Structure 1
Amino acid sequence: MSASLVPTDLVSGPSPETTTDSQNQLQITDLAEVLQLLRRHGYSGVSYHTLSLYLGLFPNTIRVIEADHRGDTERCLSECFTKWLGKADDVQKKGGPTIYSLVSALRRIGGENGVADGIDMEKHPACKILACHSAQQSVIAAALPQLVIVLYLTKLIKEMILPTNVQGENLLIQIKEAVCNDYQKLEAFAVILCKVKATIEIGNSLLKEYSEVFCSDDLVVMNDDNGLKIYLPQSMTAQFTTMRLKFGQTFLKVEKCIKEKSPAHKDIKNILSYYSEDLESQIAHCEST
Structure 2
Amino acid sequence: MATSQPCLGSAIGVNDLIDVLDLLKRCGFPETRWYELGLRLGLLKKTLDVVEKNHPHDVSRCMTECLSQWLAEKLKHDVLINIFNNRHTVLSQSLCDSVSIAWLLYAEHMLAQEAVSRVVSASPSISNQREALLTAVKEAVQTDPNSLHTFANILCTMSTNVSLGQDILDDISKYFPTPEVGLVPETIDMVPEGNNF
What TM-score, normalized to structure 2?
A: 0.46
Q: Which has the larger radius of gyration?
A: 1
**Greater relative contact order: 1 or 2 (C-alpha under 8 angstroms, separation 6 or more)?**
2
